[in-house]
Chain A
Amino acid sequence: MWALSEAGTGDLNSRVVIVGAGHAGGSAAAFLRQYGHVGPIVLIGDEPLLPYQRPPLSKAWLKGEADAESLQLKPDSWYEEAGVSLRLGGTVVSLNRGAKTVTLSSGEHLPYDYLILATGARARALPIPGADLAGVLALRSAADAEALKGALGPGKRLAVVGGGYVGLEAAASARALGGHVTIIEREPRVLARVACETLSNFFQDYHGARGVTFELNAGVAGFEGAEGHVTGVKLSDGQVVACDAALVGVGAIPNEELARDAGLDCTNGVVVDIEARTADPFVFAIGDVTHRPLPLYDRQFRLESVPNALEQAKQAAAAIAGRPMPPHEIPWFWSDQYDLKLQIAGLPFDADRQVVRGDVAAAKFAVFHLKGDLVQAVEAVNAPPEFMAGKQLIAKRTPVSIEKLANPTISMKEVAA
Chain B
Amino acid sequence: MAKITYIEHDGTDHVIDVKPGLTVMEGAVKNNVPGIDADCGGACACATCHVYVDDAWLPKTGDKSAMEESMLDFAENVEPNSRLSCQIKVSDALDGLVVRLPESQH
Q: Evaluate contact between B29 and A73: CB separation under 8 angstroms.
A: yes
CA distance A383 to B29 in the complex (A): 27
Nearest A-chain residue to B21, judged by Cβ: A70
Q: Evaluate contact between A74 and B73: CB separation under 8 angstroms.
A: no
Cβ of B88 under 8 Å from chain A: no
Max chain B CB contacts within 10 Å: which of A73, A82, A384, A413?
A: A384
Nearest B-chain residue to A55, judged by Cβ: B41
Q: Evaluate contact between A78 and B30: CB separation under 8 angstroms.
A: yes
CA distance A388 to B70 in the complex (A): 9
Cβ of A412 under 8 Å from chain B: yes
In whole Å, how far is A383's beta carbon from the nearest beta carbon of chain B? 9
Nearest A-chain residue to B67, judged by Cβ: A384
Nearest B-chain residue to A332, judged by Cβ: B46
In whole Å, how far is A57's beta carbon from the nearest beta carbon of chain B? 11
Query: Which residues of the partner chain A approach B40 to less than 8 Å between Cβ atoms?
Result: 55, 306, 334
A-B contact pairs, 12 of them (CB 8 A): A55-B40, A72-B30, A78-B32, A82-B32, A307-B39, A310-B39, A332-B46, A334-B46, A384-B67, A388-B75, A389-B74, A413-B74
Query: Which residues of the partner chain B approach A389 to less than 8 Å between Cβ atoms?
Result: 74
Nearest A-chain residue to B47, judged by Cβ: A388
Q: Evaluate contact between A388 and B71: CB separation under 8 angstroms.
A: yes
Cβ of B56 under 8 Å from chain A: no
Cβ of A94 under 8 Å from chain B: no
In whole Å, how far is B24's beta carbon from the nearest beta carbon of chain A? 15
Count class of interface residues, chain A? 20 to 34
Max chain A CB contacts within 10 Å: which of B39, B44, B70?
A: B39
Query: Which residues of the partner chain B approach A404 to less than 8 Å between Cβ atoms?
Result: none
Query: Which residues of the partner chain A approach B29 to less than 8 Å between Cβ atoms?
Result: 73-74
In whole Å, how far is B82's beta carbon from the nearest beta carbon of chain A? 14
Count of chain B residues with Cβ under 8 Å from any Cβ of A? 21
Nearest A-chain residue to B40, judged by Cβ: A334
Cβ of A375 under 8 Å from chain B: no
In whole Å, how far is B60's beta carbon from the nearest beta carbon of chain A? 23
Residues of B36-57 whose CB lies within 8 A of A: 37, 39-41, 43-47
Please judge, given known A-B contacts A388-B74, A392-B74, whether A74 and B43 are in contact too, CB under 8 Å.
no
CA distance A17 to B73 in the complex (A): 41
Contact surface of A with B, Cβ cutoff 8 Å: 30, 33-34, 53, 55-56, 70, 72-75, 78, 82, 306-307, 310, 332, 334, 336, 341, 343, 384-385, 388-389, 392, 412-413
CA distance A180 to B73 in the complex (A): 40
Query: Which residues of the partner chain B approach A75 to less than 8 Å between Cβ atoms?
Result: 30
Determine which of B34, B37, B67 lies in contact with A341 in the assembled complex, contact meaning CB atoms within 8 Å.
Answer: B67
Q: Evaluate contact between A30 and B32: CB separation under 8 angstroms.
A: yes
In whole Å, how far is A66's beta carbon from the nearest beta carbon of chain B? 9
CA distance A33 to B33 in the complex (A): 10
CA distance A307 to B47 in the complex (A): 12
Nearest B-chain residue to A308, judged by Cβ: B39
Determine which of A33, A74, A332, A343 lies in contact with B30 in the assembled complex, contact meaning CB atoms within 8 Å.
Answer: A74
Q: Evaluate contact between B43 and A334: CB separation under 8 angstroms.
A: yes
In whole Å, how far is A173's beta carbon from the nearest beta carbon of chain B? 14
Determine which of A34, A74, A306, A343 lies in contact with B34 in the assembled complex, contact meaning CB atoms within 8 Å.
Answer: A34
Q: Evaluate contact between A34 and B32: CB separation under 8 angstroms.
A: yes
CA distance A75 to B47 in the complex (A): 23
Cβ of B77 under 8 Å from chain A: no
CA distance A240 to B71 in the complex (A): 45
Cβ of B31 under 8 Å from chain A: yes
| Cβ-closest 6 pairs across A and B | A388-B74, A334-B45, A384-B70, A34-B34, A307-B39, A53-B41
CA distance A412 to B74 in the complex (A): 9
Please judge, given known A-B contacts A34-B32, A78-B32, A332-B46, whether A306 and B74 are in contact too, CB under 8 Å.
no
CA distance A57 to B29 in the complex (A): 19
Known: A78-B32, A341-B67, A385-B70. 15 other contacts (CB 8 A): A56-B41, A72-B30, A73-B29, A75-B30, A78-B31, A306-B39, A310-B39, A341-B44, A341-B45, A343-B45, A384-B67, A385-B74, A388-B70, A388-B75, A413-B74
Residues of B64-78 whose CB lies within 8 A of A: 67, 70-71, 73-75
Query: Which residues of the partner chain B approach A385 to less than 8 Å between Cβ atoms?
Result: 70, 73-74
